[in-house]
Amino acid sequence: SSESEESSSDDQEDEISSCDEDVEAKELEESETTKACEVNANSAEDKKPEEPILESDFKKTNCTSSKEKLEVQPATYVHVERTPEIQESRLLLPILAEEQEIMEAVKEHLIIIVCGQTGSGKTTQVPQFLFEAGFAKDGIIGITEPRRVAAVSMSKRVATEMNLSTNIVSYQIRYENNVTSETSIKFMTDGVLTRELKEDFLLSKYSVIILDEAHERTSNTDVLIGLLSRIVPLRKKKGNPLKLIIMSATLRIEDFTKNERLFKTSPPVVKIDVRQFPVTVHFNKKTPISDDDITCPYLDEAYRKICKIHRTLPSGGILVFVTGRQEVHALMRKLNSKFPKKNNEARNQEKSKLQVLNLDNYEAKPRDDLEEDDRTRRLDLSEDEDGSSGDELMMEDDALTSEMDSSIPLHVLPLYSLLSSEKQRQVFAPVPEGTRLCVVATNVAETSLTIPGIKYVVDTGKVKRKLYDKITGVSSFRVTWVSKASANQRAGRAGRTEPGHAYRLYSSAVFQDFDEFDKPEIETKPVAGLVLQMKSMKIDRVINFPFPTPPPHEALESAEKLLISLGAIRVLLNRGTLKEMKQAQFSGTITDLGHRISAFPVHPRFGKMITMATKHIDIIPYVITVVAGLTVREIFFTPSHDPDNDANEEQNRQLRARLSHLKSLWSSVGGGPERKLLGDLMVLLGAIGSAEYSGATPSFCVSNCLRPKAIIEVRKLRAQLTGIVRSSLGLDDVIIDPKMEPPSDEQVRLLRKIVLSGLGDHVARKISMEEIPSERRKEWKGAYQSLLLDEPVFIHPESVLSRDPLPTYVIFQDLMEALSGKKSYIRDISSIEPEWLAHFCPHYCHFSKPLDLPEPRYDVTTDQVKCHVTASYGRLSWSLGAVEID
């Protein structure tokens, strides 16, 4: 269901592995969960809305001719007083050599592209160049970042470098900003700028917009590029030109430069030469077979390669790329037991075993029983296909035969997105004397972070991705090969400080079959949230929008369908040709309800739930809490089943038992029969409510299997959503206090209905025993028929509603195929009564003529009629019987 947000979640037992924690969508933990829709908390009030830019304007506007010369304004130089140290370190940045070229390009063209590797100085320096050239005199220099944490830290860094206060170099992210009337340079997330466009389509207060990290191809940045390709010429027409700088860490820019719909003439590209030391790439001769992705032969292979490097090659850090959190820890455990840390460190780790619930200690620990026997696995050099510089590996091969390892300790550190930022920062700290750094990372380390001192890269070539079905939105996790661009990026990490080596655990033949590039986010994720945002900016024919790469047709179609069913957009179907009718399907216009929904920076389904609650003020805080919990996701810390380590398995078992116990407590908090029917959403309410009651301290969270960061995020999001309810819906009475009493039974019943109103297509009905073919009786026990898949689905075992008696009709947030692809699970379940569909999801219902009943069929007092109602979803239809409707 949740489209705009990012991955997350916890490891699962065995094949159920349906969750997202392990997916590292190039994002660090602080990344936006709902990037698609941020709110401009700051500037909304003081600006009168611009007159709407109509779609027709879009068509009429000429694209920028970037070659077009503008009169060069004699920009007045602004002096910046930097400290000598800063001055010195700046001079080392490759981008300093290109300052003149960049500034000339900016002066002569409206739109330019700057390419340069991570670390070349783009983010920190380009805003300074512009400031010094006087661009801040005509407006703010705005820089967008895909991640919140980058927006904040970069603004601080630039303020320090320029010796200016944060009143002048400021940031704005989802929940906070330090923008003042003096702000000249403003770092923000791409979501913040998207939201600002709704208030002021011409972005009048900016003189320059820099879209940073454009290579990441987040949907927001892509849409911003499309919008700005039209805004820039409009601003020129108004005599108040806006400059656009697109910055990319890779040279993959054809989607921007060779895209006539976007820019008629290709914008000039300034490339920054970065000194990169040569990296020798070694392919394996064979690729470890991994048809069954769960058993991870690539991990064993990675382990062996690291051992070999550590024992035989000269000093230098090792960076190994694996697929997810679970794999990071599995590999760390193996390495830590093979190359134990110094004794006292090991002892400290032993001690921490006692603090079972302290997540920070919930990390790899030394193990005594080591199954791995290197004697049986003599490595031979012939693995290195090119053999060019792997010679060193052979020389001390005998070292592998010694059972007791005498190598220096390996300083093994994890790096993945859900790791706390504090732990992430460890990789930047100096390595303890007499040890070798080995960072076990997911693809977070591919572009986002530069780790000092890496000389060897071990690349499994694998990445775990969350894939969505374009039509149904059903998601699944798959471990796939990375793209060639990723593999090269990974290899490049070895040559930052001196010549390095990259060991690819796959053959060059396999590499040849890799995709050239990763797909942009917009091609792979559901787009309902984006489509609604665009419609709220009067871009009705989203299909004609100049995307750098357009979303798939099917994805757009299902987004429109969903928005129609939510009542957020409407399609005026005039009589016409079939083609016209089809076209109309893609040009729904936003409704009043849609406008209200789009005010909330969450998925439109959730926006719908909140707007549905506005007639019942007392219930709004609960709806907001449920929405916040579902948006943030991964509220619970679910310990994984870990076959590698008995001690950890015991801890995990205890933690899982505790979580299960807690869930049943939370799902019945306050007592009353209705609560259980709200199911996992009641668990969410109970968990968040009790966390807030105890002040949401990290220790409370951790000892109750809650992720402290997630709880804080939920609190912030609740405050933000409450603020919007109060301001945009004018409901000043809605309570802001994060603490809440448990809802009454009556309120819970209403909550179930309201949640249903956003999830009409996420209904599933229990398949009765009679309906199951006899040979499937066992296999299909507890099976449900959803509207999205032909095959049956099952309630995820982590759901509190997964136990008998199973509810007949349920709604779910997520439908996910297990990693094995064998079974599909629905998650975050509540039970509903089918008659509610007629009231809350009429779009999916077929109503008979009013029934001829002996009694007065028309009830004057309630204004209701009785109909036979069939819920129908394409081929499927369920008779809901006679229902009274308005």
Residues that bind ligand CDP (CB under 6 A): 93, 116, 118-125, 153, 157
- Count the residues in the chain: 886
Task: Count interface residues toward Mg ion (CB under 5 A).
Answer: 2
Give the distance, in angstroms, between the CA of residue 560 and the centroid of all CA atoms in the same chain.
Answer: 22
**Closer Cβ to ligand CDP, 367 or 490, answer by number:** 490
Nearer to Mg ion, 122 or 341 (CB): 122
- Residue entry with tokens 């190994």: 320
Q: What residue is closest to Mg ion based on CB?
A: 123
Nearer to ligand CDP, 121 or 461 (CB): 121
CA distances from 203 to 200, 224, 589, 656 (A): 5, 12, 24, 50
CB distance 564 to 571 below 8 Å: yes
Interacting span for Mg ion (CB under 5 A) from 61-69, 82-90, 114-122, 256-264: 114-122
- How many helices (H) and strands (E) are present in the chain, helices listed first? 30, 26
Burial group, residue 46, by CB count within 10 angstroms (0-12, 13-18, 19+): exposed
Nearest-angstrom CA–CA distance, 584 and 593 = 20
Nearest alpha-carbon partner for 442 in 473, 419, 467, 475: 419
Measured from the CB atom, the residue of 126 and 685 that comes closer to Mg ion is 126
What lies within 8 Å, CB to CB, of 171 at 6+ separation is 151, 152, 154, 155, 156, 177, 178, 179, 186, 187, 188
Angle (CA) 553 822 768, round 5°:
95
Least CB distance to Mg ion at residue 449 (A): 11
State which H helix or E strand residue 491 sits in: helix 484-492
116 contact choice in ligand CDP, Mg ion, none (CB below 5 to 8 Å, kind-dependent):
ligand CDP
CA distances, 99 to each of 83, 129, 270 (Å) = 19, 7, 10
- Give the shortest CB-145-to-Mg ion separation in angstroms: 8
Beta bridge partners of 149: none
Least Å from the CB of residue 103 to Mg ion: 18
Of 216 and 327, nearer to ligand CDP (C-beta) is 216
Sequence-ordered strand ranges (E) for 158-304? 169-172, 185-189, 206-211, 243-248, 269-271, 279-283
**What is the C-alpha to C-alpha distance for residues 482 and 463, in angstroms, rounded to an integer?**
6
Q: How far, in Å, are 144, 385, 414 from residue 389 at the CA level? A: 42, 10, 28
* Distance separating alpha carbons of residues 215 and 221, to the nearest angstrom: 9
Closest to ligand CDP by CB, 216 or 523: 216
Q: Is 123 in the site for Mg ion (CB under 5 A)?
A: yes
Residue 466: both structure tokens together = 């969350």
Task: Evaluate whether 7 touches 20 at the Cβ level (below 8 Å).
Answer: yes
Please identify, using beta-carbon distances, which residue of 445 and 696 lies nearer to ligand CDP: 445
Q: What is the nearest approach in angstroms of ligand CDP to the Cβ of residue 91?
A: 12
**Residue 601 binds what, of ligand CDP, Mg ion, none (CB under 5 to 8 Å, by partner type)?**
none
Task: Find the shortest distance in angstroms from Cβ 269 to Mg ion.
Answer: 17
How many angstroms separate the Cα of 47 from the Cα of each of 197, 242, 635, 732? 12, 19, 37, 22
Query: Does residue 417 bind Mg ion (CB under 5 A)?
Result: no
For residues 116 and 473, which CB has a smaller minimum distance to ligand CDP in the complex?
116
Of the candidates 628, 535, 550, 625, the one whose C-alpha atom is nearest the C-alpha of residue 587 is 535
Identify which range of 122-130, 220-228, 417-425, 549-557 contacts Mg ion by CB under 5 A: 122-130
Q: Measured from the CB of residue 123, what is the shortest distance to Mg ion in angstroms?
A: 3
CB of 120 to Mg ion, least distance (A): 8
Going residue by residue from 68 to 107, which x/- string records binding to Mg ion, judged by CB under 5 A? ----------------------------------------
65/450 with CB nearer ligand CDP:
450
Look at residue 857 and give its three-state secondary structure: coil
Q: Residue 122 or residue 329: which is nearer to Mg ion going by CB?
A: 122
> Cβ of residue 112: shortest distance to ligand CDP, in angstroms?
15
In our burial notation (b when 16+ CB lie closer than 10 A, e otherwise), range 550-582 reads bbeeebbbbbbbbbbbbbbbebeeeeeeeeeee
Choose the one of ligand CDP, Mg ion, none that binds residue 121, judging by a C-beta under 5 to 8 angstroms depending on kind: ligand CDP
Q: 797 is in the binding site of which of ligand CDP, Mg ion, none (Cβ under 5 to 8 A by kind)?
A: none
Q: Which does 153 bind (CB under 5 to 8 A by kind): Mg ion, ligand CDP, none?
A: ligand CDP
Q: Looking at beta carbons only, is 125 or 565 nearer to ligand CDP?
A: 125
Phi-psi region of 593 (alpha: psi -120 to 50; beta: other; left: phi over 0): alpha
**Which one, 126 or 816, has the nearer CB to Mg ion?**
126
Find residue 208's DSSP bridge partners.
141, 243
Pick what 304 binds: ligand CDP, Mg ion, none; C-beta below 5 to 8 Å, kind-dependent: none
Instruction: Decide whether 82 or 157 has the Cβ nearer to ligand CDP.
Output: 157
Select from ligand CDP, Mg ion, none the partner in contact with residue 565, using the beta carbon and a kind-dependent cut-off of 5 to 8 Å.
none
Binding segment for Mg ion (CB under 5 A), chosen from 116-124, 359-367, 494-502, 834-842, is 116-124
- What secondary structure letter does DSSP report for 109? -
Which range in 117-125, 647-655, 675-683, 723-731 contacts Mg ion by CB under 5 A? 117-125
* Shortest Å, Cβ 170 to ligand CDP: 16
Site string for Mg ion, 314-353 (x = CB under 5 A): ----------------------------------------
- Nearest approach, Cβ of residue 258 and ligand CDP (Å): 24
In angstroms, how far apart are the furthest CA atoms of the chain? 96
* Helices 745-757, 604-612: inter-axial angle, 10-degree rounding: 140
Report the nearest approach of Mg ion to the CB of residue 272 (Å).
Answer: 11
Our finding on whether 447 is near Mg ion (CB under 5 A) is no
742 binds, among ligand CDP, Mg ion, none (CB under 5 to 8 A by kind): none
CB nearer to ligand CDP: pick between 93 and 393: 93
Q: How far is the CB of 807 from ligand CDP (least distance, A)?
A: 51
679 binds, among Mg ion, ligand CDP, none (CB under 5 to 8 A by kind): none
Cis amide prior to 639 (ω within 30 degrees)? no
- Encoded tokens for 567: 């009542």
Minimum distance of Mg ion from residue 605's CB (angstroms) = 34
Interface residues with Mg ion (CB under 5 A)?
A: 122-123
